Structure 1
Amino acid sequence: MSLITEDDPFKDPSLDDRPQPAQPPALNNVPDTLAVGRNASLTLGTDSLVVLDEALLESGGTLCCGISLTPGSKKNTRSIPFFNVLWAELSEDEDVTIQYAHSESKQAVRPAIISYKLEKSQSVQARAWVENLLTRAYGASQRQKRVKVLINPFGGQGKAVKIYHKSIAPIFAAARCELDVEHTRHNGHAVEIAEKLDTEAFDVIACCSGDGVPYEVWNGLAKKPDAARALVKTALAQLPCGSGNAMSLNFNGTDSPSLAALAVVKGLRTPLDLASVTQGNRRTLSFLSQSVGIVAETDLATEHLRWMGSTRFTWGFFVRLIGKTIYPADIAVRVEIDNKAAIRERWRAEAAKPPPTRDPRPLPEPGTGLPTLQYGTVQDALPDTWELIPHDKLGNFYAGNLAYMSPDANFFPASLPNDGCIDLIRIRGDIPRLTSIQTLLAIEKNTFFDLPHVDYQKVSAYRIIPKNQEEGYISIDGERMPFEPFQVEVHSGLGTVLSRTGHLYEAKGV
């Protein structure tokens, strides 16, 4: 007897079993194929679960195993990618049940179920088979993650709560994640939540928001007495519910809420470089980018155009490029790699590595705070090895820790999550207008990196002092900061995220 449905019965999943960082290896001497009746079987293939069932021949154009069949289909097998398998178990009644993410379209998945009644004599073999299925489905990823969910009901177009319940929560529930959900109530609330959070009780903080809530969470964790331990212990994830979803694009490979939820369920712990930004007497953490000039102004001066979505960035960028706007500043940089050939070689060497099977970092001891600043703050004397160079015709100063800044803007294709560097771009503001237009188009075509007038370096620290302007825009992770000098220093692997590969961004590299 079989049951094939697409409803989600796990409204309140069992939370008895605590998740473990590593999963047991696949059991030996267990056949890959499990017979589930006279005319059906389940087989562990190379990269997918293969369902063979003669009943599929009779389904016509109905949905079966969560996959749409065309009328008159003669196929009696269907494949479910292991990545889409969310959970599997054998009940006391000898039912083997498999929950998985069914692809409704290229931009959405939803939970679906297959279930078969077994003979009691199969129980020992079936339990071992189910364990092998889960091992292949999760690999090095942690099962049944304990997730602190933060929902920003005000972000984007104010639809985050609806998106969470419709597209995200069902995926988490089907994967047997342990959930603790809280809504942010005001600007800065996520800082307060993260600062007080018992990070030993959670594996993941998942932000249903844009990039603003993750920024607040990083800085809330940074306020804890044991900030270094908290930042390594608890991974941060973004589930796209805002107008800016760069974090999800880079680590989940999508700005679809349901696909992002699936990616978080299957995500691998990934060390992420974070940067200390000092400005005046303040020290904050940055995970995304810092900008002065055209990018900062494009972002912050187009807030009134939010109704345009991500198109507002393109429009704002275009207007300022054509106007040859310049942003004079003095800049000092600690350069690690100063030429594009070496930068390309660094990226390709990392991309050639297989996905890691474990997080290599030791967990900092309790009470370990943020790292000491190696180069001091912006208020200290400039380090002896740094040279402050005038940039009187600066058009764009953009330092990025991630690759994608928006869906069509892979600004930093050579960036890596944990190479101890920020990728720094500098472009003059007085280049010809035609060159400016070609620069804008090159970003969408992924040819931006190779443009000769784009100065692209990997740096570990810098100081920038805007000049000849009383008012202007400085953006740190999309947040507006006072228009005054600031200094940045990178901390290798200080933070933790979940990613699909464990060591790369989901962006076209170099």
Structure 2
Amino acid sequence: MEENQGSIKAPPDVVLSDTFTLVPSDGLLLPLQLTQTELLLQVHPCGRSGPSSSRFLLADCIGCHCFKGKNQSDPGGYFTVVFYTLAEGKGSTIYRQRISKTFRAGGSQDRDQNMDTARTWTQKIKQLAKPQGQTSVLPSSPRLLVLLNPYGGTGEALHLFQKHVTPMLMEADINFTLLVTEGPNQARELVRDEDLSRWDLIVVMAGDGLMFEVINGLMERPDWMDAIKKPLAILPGGSGNALAASINHYIGHQQVMGTKLLVNCAFVLCKGQPYPLDLVSLTTSSEKRLFSFLSLAWGFISDVDIESEKYRFMGSVRFSVGTFVRLTALRTYRGRLSYVKASTSTETISDSNRPTLDNSHSELQPNVAGKELDDSLLSPLDQPVPSHWTVVPEDQFALVLAVYLSHLGADMFTAPMVKSLGEGSIHLFYATSRISRGSLLKLFLSMEKGTHLETEIPHLTHVPVTAFRIEPLHNTGIMTVDGECIPCGPIQGQIHRGLASVISIPSIT
């Protein structure tokens, strides 16, 4: 919202113009204009001190409703417009905050005529507030399936959803079905087996683990190629919240946490459209196939992630506590690491949003997730990597991390070079045992603001890749995919650009 001195000058693209009473107010009639992009209100008549006009961006508007007055003798017609504008809050943080304006149309003594005026403005505001400049693939009132993990993070996800998200969805005229999960893999089995045509959008209110379940459930379906295009949305309800933080960053919002991040993401849910989301196809030595949207970690980061579970009640602070605990007894792991640099496989990346079909093994592997999706850059795990791969000499590793989003957590700005969804690169970080504890501490303290790559950290390497292989020599240590623990062992992965679909909005910067 912007406030300006002086009366409103009629812009060239005025759609509607009239005078209304602002409710509540002193009863003065105020000029109101609707353009293609803004609602312009003259707050004070000329001659009074203070700001005389306010501008509300329709890009910030999530809903508009018209209604009759409570008093039967009141002939007025009313409409309320709800905005979530970027404003500065406590601690100088900028995040989405609710502003609503109610207007009374009373130009006639006939209530029906006044209601017609209110309806005309309501319908036009709702029409112009829809995402512009792109073809919507979602209906105007989409049907949402909301999967909520009540145990994630501090265990307040259900309360937070009811307090912050439900009112916003109601204001945006969005219908939803809420399913509170009761245990592991319930969401995975549901999206794998159910008729997905009942919903236009699947929303996950949890940490990143539940989104991992949903994506892999979709990829296990016989119709996975269609199912994985079902738009997904994230609402932060866990302790990590990497996907939510990454989308928040790509849009241009300030890095925030807690309910501020939740409200930002709920706004995106109300206003967004599907954007491509990269997935990494992972294959283990047992030939199990997994699909990852966030990261694969082995060593220090996965040790901290899993071993800090005991501090889950602390929320995201658990990772800071876990970092200091693990630094006191740093572990290293012997293994081999290989990868394909991103610059050497540009053609493969650009074409990977059109999945290659390979039906030759489909009858032999009926239960393999995404069985027809060809990992063209990978050779079988029991064979050497192709000759064009880069092979890191066998060594003791303190950490290996493959990450494909900007954030690894709400306050872990791990890959600041990632500017948008669907870039088609894996960012591989690895550190050998020669890295000092001081350097590791510096790495994680500076990661909150994404400044860890601005100064050289000895024995830490970063390289953009499109495929990788990790081979622990003793199958020891903790290995995680999207924050979920998996058996430690040889594993390899390849990125598939834009394979999935997630709700976002255009960058505001």
TM-score > 0.5, shorter chain as reference: yes
386, 393, 398: which one pairs with 2:396? 393
493, 498, 506: which one pairs with 2:498? 493
The answer to whether structure 1 residue 481 and structure 2 residue 486 are counterparts is yes
Aligned-pair distance for 1:175?
A: 0.3
2:362 aligned partner: none
Residue correspondence of structure 1 range 418-429 to structure 2 within 5 A: 418-429=422-433
2:77 aligned partner: 95
1:456 aligned partner: 462
The answer to whether structure 1 residue 436 and structure 2 residue 440 are counterparts is yes
The answer to whether structure 1 residue 33 and structure 2 residue 21 are counterparts is no
169, 172, 186: which one pairs with 2:166? 169
Question: In 1, are the aligned partners of 2:43 and 2:53 still within 8 Å (CA)?
Answer: yes
2:248 aligned partner: 252
118, 131, 135: which one pairs with 1:138? 131
The answer to whether structure 1 residue 412 and structure 2 residue 423 are counterparts is no
Give CA-to-partner distance per residue, 1:74-118, whole Å, 9 cap, x none.
Answer: 555444342331123566998352331457955674574524225
1:384 aligned partner: 386
Residue correspondence of structure 1 range 54-73 to structure 2 within 5 A: none
Give CA-to-partner distance per residue, 1:286-343, whole Å, 9 cap, x none.
Answer: 01100111111111122112233322322333444465532221111111149xxx9x
Amino acid at match of 2:143: R
Quote the Cα distance in structure 2 between the aligned partners of 1:363 and 1:176: 36
Question: In 2, are the aligned partners of 1:268 and 1:498 still within 8 Å (CA)?
Answer: yes
The answer to whether structure 1 residue 241 and structure 2 residue 241 are counterparts is no
Quote the Cα distance in structure 2 between the aligned partners of 1:90 and 1:435: 59
Question: In 2, are the aligned partners of 1:294 and 1:395 still within 8 Å (CA)?
Answer: yes
Quote the Cα distance in structure 1 between the aligned partners of 2:97 and 2:304: 34
Amino acid at match of 1:177: I
Question: In 2, are the aligned partners of 1:204 and 1:237 still within 8 Å (CA)?
Answer: yes
Instruction: Report the RMSD for the aligned CA atoms in angstroms.
Output: 3.7
Quote the Cα distance in structure 2 between the aligned partners of 1:110 and 1:125: 22
The answer to whether structure 1 residue 325 and structure 2 residue 327 are counterparts is no
Aligned-pair distance for 1:249?
A: 1.0
Question: In 2, are the aligned partners of 1:229 and 1:363 still within 8 Å (CA)?
Answer: no
Question: In 2, are the aligned partners of 1:272 and 1:497 still within 8 Å (CA)?
Answer: yes
Quote the Cα distance in structure 2 between the aligned partners of 1:292 and 1:73: 63
Compute the TM-score of the two structures, normalised by the length of structure 1. Answer: 0.76
Quote the Cα distance in structure 1 between the aligned partners of 2:372 and 2:165: 33
- Taking a change above 3 Å as real, the CA distance of residues 434 and 379 of structure 1, as seen in their structure-2 partners, is closer
Aligned-pair distance for 1:447?
A: 2.0
Residue correspondence of structure 1 range 169-248 to structure 2 within 5 A: 169-232=166-229, 234-248=230-244
Aligned-pair distance for 1:231?
A: 1.3
1:84 aligned partner: 60
Amino acid at match of 1:260: C
Give secondary structure in 2 for the equivalent of 1:193.
Answer: helix
- Work out the percentage of aligned pairs sharing the same amino acid: 25
2:102 aligned partner: 114
Residue correspondence of structure 1 range 290-301 to structure 2 within 5 A: 290-301=296-307
Q: Which runs of 5+ in 1 are unaligned?
A: 1-27, 58-71, 343-360
Give CA-to-partner distance per residue, 1:321-378, whole Å, 9 cap, x none.
Answer: 465532221111111149xxx9xxxxxxxxxxxxxxxxxx89999x997522224565
Aligned-pair distance for 1:456?
A: 1.5
Question: In 1, are the aligned partners of 2:62 and 2:84 still within 8 Å (CA)?
Answer: no
Quote the Cα distance in structure 2 between the aligned partners of 1:275 and 1:290: 9
133, 148, 151: which one pairs with 2:148? 151
Aligned-pair distance for 1:458?
A: 1.4
Give CA-to-partner distance per residue, 1:145-172, whole Å, 9 cap, x none.
Answer: 3211111122222222211111101101
Amino acid at match of 2:384: L
- Taking a change above 3 Å as real, the CA distance of residues 41 and 129 of structure 1, as seen in their structure-2 partners, is farther
Quote the Cα distance in structure 2 between the aligned partners of 1:332 and 1:126: 63
Give secondary structure in 2 for the equivalent of 1:195.
Answer: helix
Quote the Cα distance in structure 2 between the aligned partners of 1:477 and 1:276: 12
Question: In 1, are the aligned partners of 2:152 and 2:207 still within 8 Å (CA)?
Answer: yes
Question: In 1, are the aligned partners of 2:66 and 2:118 still within 8 Å (CA)?
Answer: no
- Taking a change above 3 Å as real, the CA distance of residues 149 and 382 of structure 1, as seen in their structure-2 partners, is same
Give secondary structure in 1 for the equivalent of 2:204.
Answer: strand
Question: In 2, are the aligned partners of 1:110 and 1:171 still within 8 Å (CA)?
Answer: no
- Taking a change above 3 Å as real, the CA distance of residues 94 and 393 of structure 1, as seen in their structure-2 partners, is same
- Taking a change above 3 Å as real, the CA distance of residues 150 and 113 of structure 1, as seen in their structure-2 partners, is farther
Aligned-pair distance for 1:53?
A: 4.7
Quote the Cα distance in structure 1 between the aligned partners of 2:78 and 2:308: 54
Quote the Cα distance in structure 2 between the aligned partners of 1:90 and 1:440: 51
Aligned-pair distance for 1:207?
A: 1.0
Quote the Cα distance in structure 2 between the aligned partners of 1:132 and 1:304: 49
Give secondary structure in 2 for the equivalent of 1:411.
Answer: coil
Question: In 2, are the aligned partners of 1:404 and 1:410 still within 8 Å (CA)?
Answer: yes
More deviation, 149-158/181-190: 149-158
- Taking a change above 3 Å as real, the CA distance of residues 319 and 122 of structure 1, as seen in their structure-2 partners, is closer
Quote the Cα distance in structure 1 between the aligned partners of 2:49 and 2:331: 61
Compute the TM-score of the two structures, normalised by the length of structure 2. Answer: 0.76
1:465 aligned partner: 471
Quote the Cα distance in structure 2 between the aligned partners of 1:149 and 1:271: 20
More deviation, 164-173/443-452: 443-452
The answer to whether structure 1 residue 127 and structure 2 residue 120 are counterparts is yes
Quote the Cα distance in structure 2 between the aligned partners of 1:91 and 1:370: 53
The answer to whether structure 1 residue 314 and structure 2 residue 309 are counterparts is no
Q: How many residues in Structure 1 have an aligned counterpart in Structure 2?
A: 439
- Taking a change above 3 Å as real, the CA distance of residues 161 and 108 of structure 1, as seen in their structure-2 partners, is farther
Aligned-pair distance for 1:475?
A: 0.7
Question: In 2, are the aligned partners of 1:334 and 1:460 still within 8 Å (CA)?
Answer: yes
